[in-house]
Chain A
Amino acid sequence: MPLAIPLFGLGWAVPCREQPYTLETAEGLAGGGNLEFDGEVALFTDGACLETRGLTLRAPSLRYDQASGELTAQDVEVETPRYRFWAEEAWVRGQTLRASGVRATTCRCGEDLRLLSQSLVFNTQTGEAVLEESRLEVYRLGLARFEALTINPSQSLGESLGLTEAGEALSAPFRFDFDQGLNLGLNGFPLPGPRRFSSRLTLLALRLGSPDPVLRLGLSAREKQRRASLQLDVKASGFTSLGEVVDGPLFFVHDSAAGRYAFGLRQGYSWGGLAFTPFGWVAQDWQDGTPATQVQGLAAGTELRYTLGLKEGPFRLSLEPFGVFTLYDQAPRYLAYGGQVEGRYEGAFTLHLGYSWSAELGLGRFWLERRGAVHRLFGRLEFPGLELQAERDFLKAQTQGSLRLGYQQDYGELWMRYNFCVECVGKTTSNGRSDWERRELVLGFTPSPLTCTHELSLSPLLGYDFLRQGVSRFGLELRYADCCFVWRLGYQEVRIAQHPDEVSSGKFTLGLEIR
């Protein structure tokens, strides 16, 4: 097998259609260094290949039966834009490639991350492959078994395995950081199902060393239209739980710390730009977060939302009015209405301006139907190397935004960002914590994405708070790319919290991306 690696590299050097002899068939383009044809069967040898939409297949020899239209080969290598496959034997007929004794990897070299499968069915038109009875191995260590794993060409392996959402990096399922105490344990550790990693386990010790340590247990599972999650926090003072079960339009959600429970249904319908969502639930809520304001009862209503989009050259305009009407069994009706209008110009520069407004009539009893009043103007201006965004909240009478300047080079981007919040002192944010003024300058460097193997990059940042006259934050992330993964190790410390969501603390992060 070690011999296969250099041969592999050499073999792929010549595209199939540039092979000395090629045969265009309904199944794709077959080629090779030599051809024998006996009137019924064509046999390509000396670097045989088959090129169809979505894959390129290589084998020492390739047999094409003209009458049946079937291509067969042994010791096959298959290349797709994201994957490399090897198979002991493969058959191509029509739009389907079947293979047995399959190995697959996304690695650019080697096979430290691989899938082993008894058989594979590959649709050459869609590029979708189903691996039957497969095993996932990392560094030759078996991690999971799947009955039928579907690999989609438009998705990363992380998405196909159910480990990440689209565009997301794979985060390490472990936690080890310090934030009011030491936090460590499994965080969303993936558990395999028959077709993918469909559930996750959390077992965390939080705030160890502080007066209020927490043991967190959690389990979540997700299928196409169904998802369920439960999280239990055990403290010295008692326990709290957070959960959600959704099955199509039916759902049950609860958050014991906020006194929120609801069981109901919600079903969306749409006609063109009009979305219509009737709903109904029985619920409990603590309206200001304390048991003193607990309300319970039934609610039924509907939400109407209309989206209008216009596009003319580089200009776009969107308008989205909405209304939510709710009836209660023990309270007056509630109506929320409003809308948002956004204009966008995308040319030599990007200008985005928007206005959002909504109002309420009556009191929304439960958090599910409640829509807060909004009155704000927002915008963003982007030039190459410059980005300015700002938002004026008329209800809070505050303005916040940021200005970012970047200097892009081949090796990465040097950037600075100035974050500001004017007239923000004491204004309550959505999570109930008070905001404060901000004048922060952050300097950083973002290296270009790692493209080579065994490559290293460093990404530092440093922030300064002009109001409180001190370093607000600093951090450093180290990235290392091997054949299969990009490893991320970072440390970030917030010394002067800039936002109610932040606390002064240091945090180690460990991340992993599948290449």
Chain B
Amino acid sequence: MELVPAQKQRVWKTPAVVNFSLGGIGAGFYFLALFVNLPGDGNWLPALLSSNAAWLPMAFLAALFKLLGVALAGLGFIALTTEAGRPQRGINLFRHLRRSWMSRETLAFFLFVAFAGLDWLVPNPLLRALAALAALFLMLAQGFILYRARGVTAWNTSLMPLYFLTAGLMTGAGLLLVLFPLVNLFTPLTSSLSFAAAGILTAILNLALWLIYLRTPDAAFQNAVAALRAPNPFWQIVGIGHLLPALLLAFAWANPAAPLSAVLEIVAGGLLLFGGVRQKWGIILQAGYLRAITLATPHLPRALGRIPN
């Protein structure tokens, strides 16, 4: 018997959406950007010290690709500080690594920052691999944070970590596609085809998880995600945020020489970013209903104040 109906959570608001979105975009971008072959990588210091000005743009580009992901994830964390009651005690976040996924997320973020930063200063494949692992762990940890929030029906589902992983990679691919013309400006030999493929693959995976998520067979869950199943949000996320960019990327992939393909990739990248952010906004703010309080009894005793028939 339902005693208190489900009600919207009002604790995690826009800053939480910003954190989950930027964390995923930043980590996903870093992970995929590792596969961009940039000649300026590791040469920023010699470039800065030498008089060879031709190296500087490429060194800047390499730094951008290595540090942008970290910066975005960092902005997400900064956004969170506007929501926490006592952010100045943030060091305490590391106190419960044994069980709390928020502690683990914080650790993942700091490892990500540390390894990626060190790799930028002193390029090293091991540091890069560790940073990539930390980035993957950050995306998963954000999903586990929602999964372990047992008070919210639409978050407390085991799909959540995998969804966050695919969403992070999808939006990371989106940002990469938006920024790719910068790479081509300096290193025309680098191909964007593999990133278009990554965009298509992650969009399809994420879309499949999204559709499974929306069809979770539980009445309370269905009530919670009703706003996301409505035609407008559904087509914003599925149509504009996944199917359309996948089609645009498929076209660009099939016709790499077409004059419009570069523009299509940028548009598709932007749409992938929109799709991922719109999904997370929907999950946190639209489907974030605290579960109903129930009592396993067919009848409650009648209150004394009841007026007899």
A and B assemble together: no
